[in-house]
Structure 1
């Protein structure tokens, strides 16, 4: 079977199509530089892709999406490059099992299986069933080391995972797809409807939490108003090194970091906010 491989700067989630296609040479340069790009595998002339690979080495991330003939995503795999740069952890995966060709993509009624793995060997497999009985069945995945990890392949040497999904036994022959338009991968921002590499959450506007009158929200609670901060004490740092740990540090596995600061005493203020909400039991704002 011949499989056509095309490259692009990003993947348009709405159009299910590559955004800013590029040549193999340009994709190879981006791979070497660690910049984000996607590789799209499809049968020649096929409308829906067989699979889409999303690569961003600078973000320590590789994603893989497998599609069916209806253009629905059937499998999603997130892989992470951790301490060892030569191999990838199969960090998280989800598979959707559509009950018919008319079932919508990601339909809530669709049975699916998710697998959550951690580098220390722990993990969780969740099977969400539908129909009579329904519910979820959670187990601990029993996987070999080579099932949790995969060697980091060289550019252009990724295995075709969709070959298993489509029952392709014979080795596939790959050929480069034609670039339909001139690529300008270095110009302009990637549109909001395109895939972006996952990145750590950035710190919020901490200073705003100490300015009375500022309106803030955390996306879950209603809009809140910052009130006057409360002085709670002082912190002495004679060594010039501030140690910070997570709330579960007593268990020995919590996060911990040290931050250099000028030695001295630091005032501790507690940020406070005020908000109201409608209480359905009292039928009033509280």
Structure 2
């Protein structure tokens, strides 16, 4: 088949816009090896004889990821596609972004550039965002009008990138022919996994230093506090009875009718487990008055005294972690600035009793256990619900600790805003 656009492909670890060059070029054979092994690499696609690329592909099959960047004649990114291999042979178009530079002197990805984003999900909960005055000028969000048959693309075979360039979703016209060009400098020898420059496979949010947060005496600096903070002794607030070992985590106001969907549920050993919190005190000042304050960073159900060697994010039923973009996470929604741990088998009844006590003022069913924590107990089966205060409304991830045998050690809810302000102090 004839092509009207000829493109040269060079393989490497990435594209360096400052030097306008491929970073650490690699041979085709090394790129093919990485492709088969799932290791990351990049494909720089340029018109023959041109320094600036038309596009750069980022490939990391171990992370189910293929990314595409398209550039204008000045070397500025104007288009980005985030594709995920969710099924054998098929890529799902998870995210699109476009930038329009109305002024020639605007740098790449400038906040002043007009921007459009599209987020797609296989279940159809899609949205489009438009920023007609750039990031600082307001935005609108609407439903996506991209036809469903454009949500999926075939996975290209290694070296056969023409199908991606010709995909109508990406805005190019014409047919493409690709020739592979040897790097301008000698490729470096294969040394295992790549060290990408300017990109890395998207990574969901990581567990936020949970072992350190529950280590009394550990010292942090806080970006909004002048003095270092020292983690207080871990406080056991109460205990929670989980007769079936099915621990649910959610906003307790959602429990009576389940209107906001199912809570996150984690299997733990049946029994009675401590509910603990961690935090740090500090001196503060307001209107000339000094006072002592304390922030709670995380609350947990401690299942085992064994140290956690691995932390995983609890995933709601039906959700796919391969769809998470960089820094994103799954969690439970909160509209009452309150979360709870609860025995899943009794959650509806316990939630109904908790909400009845809140709305009626009848406190017989709800016991204050100190520091804003409350408990409700099922008298017949012994199952319990324990509520805890959160920093506000939003979505809170749940982290599950595992020991070296894979058994659950703890289930933790952390205030990601506060924890995100912390950095371990220098030794």
1:207 aligns with 2:208: no
Contact preservation (8 Å) 1:234, 1:267: yes
1:229 pairs with one of 234, 244, 247: 234
Deviations 1:231-264 (A, max 9, x none): 122234555x453445477346456353454x54
Corresponding residue of 1:272: 279
Corresponding residue of 1:4: 8
Aligned length: 276
Deviations 1:9-60 (A, max 9, x none): 3444654532221222221221111111111100112111100010111111
Contact preservation (8 Å) 2:69, 2:81: yes
Contact preservation (8 Å) 1:96, 1:106: yes
Distance 1:55 1:167, change over 3 A: closer
Corresponding residue of 2:56: 52
The separation in 1 between residues aligned to 2:223 and 2:91, in whole angstroms, is: 34
Q: TM (normalized to structure 1)?
A: 0.82
Contact preservation (8 Å) 2:230, 2:280: yes
State the 1:129 CA deviation.
1.0
1:126 pairs with one of 122, 126, 129: 129
The separation in 2 between residues aligned to 1:228 and 1:270, in whole angstroms, is: 9
The separation in 2 between residues aligned to 1:277 and 1:200, in whole angstroms, is: 34
Corresponding residue of 1:114: 117
Distance 1:54 1:220, change over 3 A: farther
Contact preservation (8 Å) 1:9, 1:185: no
Corresponding residue of 1:258: 266
The separation in 1 between residues aligned to 2:199 and 2:72, in whole angstroms, is: 19
Contact preservation (8 Å) 2:127, 2:141: yes
Q: Structure 2 stretches of 5 or more lacking a match?
A: 292-427
Q: TM (normalized to structure 2)?
A: 0.57
Distance 1:135 1:188, change over 3 A: closer
The separation in 2 between residues aligned to 1:168 and 1:204, in whole angstroms, is: 45
Partner SS state of residue 227, structure 1:
coil
1:34 aligns with 2:42: no
Distance 1:166 1:58, change over 3 A: closer
Contact preservation (8 Å) 2:39, 2:194: no
1:103 pairs with one of 101, 106, 117: 106
Distance 1:254 1:115, change over 3 A: farther
Contact preservation (8 Å) 2:166, 2:176: no
Distance 1:128 1:220, change over 3 A: farther
1:139 aligns with 2:145: no
2:199 pairs with one of 195, 200, 211: 195
The separation in 1 between residues aligned to 2:208 and 2:99, in whole angstroms, is: 35
Partner SS state of residue 233, structure 2:
strand
Contact preservation (8 Å) 1:8, 1:19: yes
The separation in 2 between residues aligned to 1:172 and 1:235, in whole angstroms, is: 63
The separation in 1 between residues aligned to 2:15 and 2:62, in whole angstroms, is: 18
Q: Structure 1 stretches of 5 or more lacking a match?
A: none
Distance 1:163 1:273, change over 3 A: same
